[in-house]
């Protein structure tokens, strides 16, 4: 297992490093060897990592959505010359 930088901040932590840390935490919590206090500490860390991963995935989805919409013409760019993104609201799909 690759060692991640435990001193990364939420702003610099990549999706991959956050996900890898989540896997490590899950393994430790499933081992049954942690005390209650250790489990709570890891649970809190995992909760923050889940929020970070969810946010990064949401951002990626927004970018892909805009890129797909712009396939019929030029890529829509913002003032920083980056692909334009929009807030994403998941649509509720009807149950089959």
pLDDT at 4 exceeding the cut of 80 = no
Q: Is residue 32 part of a domain?
A: yes
Q: Which residue has the higher pLDDT, 33 or 79?
A: 33
Domain that holds residue 63: 15-72
- pLDDT tens-digit series, residues 7-58: 666 667 899 999 999 999 999 999 999 999 999 999 999 999 999 999 999 9
CA distances from 46 to 3, 6, 13, 31 (A): 17, 13, 14, 16
CATH number, domain containing residue 49? 1.10.287
| Token pair listed for 22 | 């989540």
The two three-digit tokens of residue 24, written as one number: 């490590």
The whole-angstrom separation of Cα 13 and Cα 19 is 10
In this structure, how many other beta carbons lie within 10 angstroms of the beta carbon of residue 22? Answer: 16
The pLDDT assigned to 7 comes to 60
């Amino acid at each position: 297992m690759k060692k991640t930088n435990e001193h990364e901040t939420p702003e610099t932590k990549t999706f991959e490093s956050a996900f890898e840390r989540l896997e490590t935490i899950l393994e430790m919590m499933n081992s049954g060897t942690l005390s209650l206090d250790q489990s709570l500490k890891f649970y809190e860390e995992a909760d923050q990592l889940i929020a970070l991963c969810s946010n990064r995935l949401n951002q990626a989805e927004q970018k892909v959505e805009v890129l797909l919409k712009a396939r019929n013409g030029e890529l829509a760019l913002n003032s920083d010359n980056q692909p334009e993104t929009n807030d994403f609201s998941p649509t509720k799909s009807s149950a089959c």
